[in-house]
Amino acid sequence: MGFKLSNIEFNDIIKELSKNHKVYAPKRVESRGRFSDTDLILYKEIEAVEEIVYDKKSTYSPKEIITPITQTMFYFNEDGYKEANIDDKKIVIFIRPCDINALRRLDTIFLKNGDTEDYYYKRLREKVTIIMIECKESFENCFCVSMKSNKTEKYDLAVRISDEGVLCTSNTKEFTELLSKYKEVDFKPKFVKKNINVVNVPNITDINKEIFNHEMWDEFNARCIACGRCTTTCSTCTCFNTTDLHYDDNPNSGERRRTWASCHIDGFTTMAGGHNFRKDNASRMRFKAMHKIYDYQKRFGENMCVGCSRCDDICPQYIKFSSTINKISNVLKEGGKDGK
Amino acid sequence: MENNELIPKKHKILDVYAQTDLDITYIVEYHGPLVVGTFLQVSIPRVGEAPISVSDFGDGFVELTIRKVGTLTDEIYNLNKGDYMYLRGPYGNGFDINQYKNKHLIVVTGGTGLAPVKQLVNYFSDNKNEVKKFDILLGFKSPKDVLFKDSIAKWKKNANVIVTVDSANALKTWDDKEGLVTEFISEFKVKDIDEVEVIVVGSPLMMKFTVLEFLKRGIPKSKIWVSFERKMSCGVGKCGHCKIDDTYVCVDGPVFDFVKGETLID
């Protein structure tokens, strides 16, 4: 069962939600894209359904709403600490199936790994209501089917947006009530069944020690420039740095912040004294690739990569992560040895 | 704010001792359980935070031995008795002292690698009837880098202790050994391999070559224990800096037997 709403009617729903929610969706930022005369599609607050870019992949994932790029953890002065506040409003996110699946990876790292739940993640995550945007078809480079993240039932509301209006179906009492006065229709969201980009994901039991030292990684010393863009666009990268800053007018007062970090960028493993565990770009690429398709699964039971392919879309050196995965599978098929 | 693990707490510095020109030991007021081999996140608000091994502890205090080697430790170096540092933790698994009881225990450390095992060495030196045999090999760069001199003098009475420096720079007063720790491992006579437990803590290179020496002598990987030094930042398994393969050094380690340690390719 579902409901059909005109854009004007759906905007009433957004208006209603906006009373106590911040409503985020992929939104166009004109001429800020990667190439000249292209647009950037970013998660931003919206007021109307017409602002939602539903027919393109967003350049960045919605993760920045719950793991902000930079986040103040607490303020300090001579007397002690004050925890940074967050907005009282709850959060609604229009989000695609792969990104909903990515959200489960974020939950795993921040809430399940280690003995404690991450305080800063939890207090934002608890506020989130999920409106799934149906993917009518696969976008360029997507390989969600290969990563088994094309489908999900984990949404509060699912929508099919078009210029003619919005079809939706609810998984919660709240949304069903909110929508009850609108026209009932048959609607079930469809999921992408096939991507053009098919990726052969290796079985983790086939991964051997040799692949870590294989010469296949060497090409990345020349190609990868360690800019870290792949990790900033990645919907599942969660690493962060913690840094303090103090205010010029009173050096004893300041704040501690958490900021996105990337395993590709210099300093990620550098300890005081200068010892750096992964110096070259090839070993950083190997580290990231193995995390996404091997060791995360070994620890948590599913692959980290969801196949959104934003890393492939954004790489200034045209490195395709999907091809890298295929390359790993091919090397393993050949026995994984290169005589090194 | 009570359940916010990441907010450090203010602790008073009770005493300060210089160990070397660069290493200082701080005795800091601390109440609560601690385990040898674990670490604390030490903060100076406005400068930052770093993981520091617990080098000793007792009733109402923790001892931290800190080398002046980076931005934060440069700042810690200026702290005096009566000043405060900010702590959170403890984090990590630490050493299980029962693992080594009634065994032939061999401890090999390089430089500040002695700090995380100092309390364990102290324990077995004070309770020497709890180990069958106790060999200690401590390596330092030069005579002026030797840490915990008083403790070493005490250990020498209760265990077989070898102290060596990479180079004594022709110092006449140096009566201990000269050379890398790897050159002295042959001095330990192992009677029964089943009874041996080996602990190796130092820089990544030191640990690699020291462990190799023990493997060459037939000591099984499961009886060799190492403590990994990595860039632990959050300490609670979230920030990703210390991850190697599927292992988070901060929560799964830093202490591993070499069966596991060997599989960790950075």
Residue of chain B minimizing CA distance to A252 = B46
- Closest approach of chain B CAs to the CA of A82, in angstroms? 9
Give the residue from B234, B34, B44 showing the smallest Cα distance to A119: B234
Q: How close is the nearest chain A Cα to the Cα of B266, in Å?
A: 6
CA distance A326 to A201: 7
Does residue B110 lie in a domain region?
A: yes
pLDDT the model gives residue A31: 83
Pairing of strands B133-140, B104-110: parallel
Q: Are residues A222 and A287 in the same domain?
A: yes
The verdict on whether omega for the bond into residue B254 sits within 30 degrees of 0, i.e. cis, is yes
- The size of the A-B interface in CB pairs under 8 A is 114
Residues A17 and A143 in one domain: yes
Q: How far is B119 from chain A (nearest CA, A)?
A: 24
Please answer yes or no on whether A243 and B48 come within 8 Å at the CB atom.
yes
Residues of chain B neighbouring A272 (CB-CB closer than 8 A): 50, 69-73
Range of the domain at B153: 97-261
Cβ–Cβ below 8 Å for A299 and B4: no
> How far off is chain B from A318, nearest CA to CA, in Å?
26
Q: What is the pLDDT of residue A339?
A: 45
**Given A121, A156, A185, which residue is the final one in a domain?**
A185
Distance CA(B266)–CA(B263), nearest Å, equals 9
Q: How many domains does chain B have?
A: 2
Inter-chain CB proximity B243 and A272 less than 8 Å:
no
Residues of B with CB under 8 A from a CB of A: 1, 3-7, 10, 43, 45-50, 67, 69-73, 203-204, 229-231, 233-234, 236-241, 243, 245-246, 248, 250-251, 263, 265-266
Instruction: Clarify whether residues A111 and A227 are in a common domain.
Output: no
Which of these, A181, A207, A258, lies nearest to A4 by C-alpha position?
A: A181
Is residue B195 pLDDT above 50, yes or no? yes
Smallest Cβ distance to B238: which of A110, A246, A263? A110
Instruction: Tell me whether residue B266 is in a domain.
Output: no
Test mutation, A236, A269, A294, A296, chain B, max B CBs within 10 A: A269
Q: Are residues B51 and B131 in the same domain?
A: no
Which whole number is the average pLDDT over B137-165?
A: 95
A307 shares its domain with A237: yes
A172 and A310 share one domain: no
Asked whether residue A177 falls in the same domain as residue A253, the answer is no
What is the least distance, in Å, from the CA of A49 to any CA of chain B?
35
**A211 & A174 share domain:** no
The verdict on B186 and B61 lying in the same domain is: no
Which DSSP state fits A101? Answer: H
Nearest-CA distance A336 → chain B (Å): 16
Q: Select from B169, B171, B114 the least CA-distant residue to B139.
A: B114
Contacts of A81 in chain B (CB under 8 A): 7, 45
pLDDT tens, residue by residue, B210-242:
999 999 999 999 999 999 999 999 999 999 999
- Which has the closest alpha carbon to B30: B9, B16, B48? B9
Q: Cβ of A298 and B234 within 8 Å? A: no
Residue B169: CATH number of its domain: 3.40.50.80
* pLDDT of the residue at A214: 94
Mean pLDDT, chain B, as a whole number?
Answer: 94
Q: For residue B61, tell me if it sits in a domain.
A: yes
In this structure, are A33 and A103 located in the same domain? yes
Note whether A180 and A275 are same-domain residues: no
Q: Residues 6 or more apart from A80 whose CB is under 8 A from it?
A: B10
Contact B50 A272 (CB under 8 A): yes
- Report the residue of B3, B7, B11, B227 to disrupt the A interface, i.e. the one with the largest count of A CBs within 10 Å: B7
In the block, tokens 């290493």 appear at B23
Same domain for B124 and B16? no
Contact between chains at B248 and A240 (C-beta distance less than 8 A):
no
Interface test with B, best of A231, A241, A268 (most B CBs within 10 A): A241
Same domain, B69 and B109: no
pLDDT at B168 over 90: no
Tens-digit pLDDT string for chain A (340 aa): 799 999 999 999 999 999 999 999 999 998 888 788 889 999 999 999 999 999 999 999 999 999 999 999 999 998 888 999 999 999 999 999 999 999 999 999 999 999 999 999 999 999 999 999 999 899 999 999 999 999 999 999 999 999 889 999 999 999 999 999 999 999 999 999 999 999 999 999 999 889 999 999 999 999 999 999 999 999 999 999 999 999 988 888 999 999 999 999 999 999 888 888 999 999 999 999 999 999 999 999 999 999 999 999 999 999 999 999 999 999 998 876 654 4
- One domain for residues B128 and B185: yes
Flag whether A27 is in a domain.
yes
In the listed set B91, B121, B154, which residue is the last one of a domain according to the structure?
A: B91
The single-letter code of the amino acid at A251 is: P
Residues A124 and A209 in one domain: no
| Residue that terminates a domain, selected from A150, A185, A220 | A185
In a domain, A37, yes or no: yes
Which residues of chain B neighbour A109 with C-beta distances below 8 Å?
237-238, 240
Looking at the partner chain, which of A118, A268, A295 has a beta carbon nearest the beta carbon of B241? A268
Number of domains in chain A: 2
Flag if A115 and B6 touch (Cβ within 8 Å): no
For residues A160 and A245, state if they share a domain: no
Tokens of B113: 């690698």
Amino acid making up residue A189: P
Q: How far is B137 from B31, CA to CA, in rounded Å?
A: 32
Q: Which residues of A touch B245 (CB under 8 A)?
A: 290, 295, 298
Minimum-distance CB partner of B236 among A74, A116, A295: A116
Residues in chain A: 340
CA distance A217 to chain B (A): 14
Cβ pair B90, B254 in contact under 8 A:
no
Asked if residue B134 and residue B177 are part of one domain, the reply reads: yes
Q: Which of A137, A155, A185 is the last residue of a domain?
A: A185
Residue given tokens 């009433």 in the structure block: A12
Q: What domain range includes position A10?
A: 2-66+75-185
Please answer yes or no on whether A116 and B5 come within 8 Å at the CB atom: yes
Residue B169 is predicted with a pLDDT of: 81
Residues of B in contact with A256 (CB under 8 A): 45, 49
pLDDT at A340: 47
Instruction: Report how far residue B13's alpha carbon sits from residue B206's, in angstroms, rounded to the nearest whole number.
Output: 32
Residues of B whose CB is below 8 A from A287: 266
Q: Is B45's CB within 8 Å of A291's CB?
A: no
Chain A residues within an 8 Å CB radius of B110? none
Shared domain check, A253 and A169: no
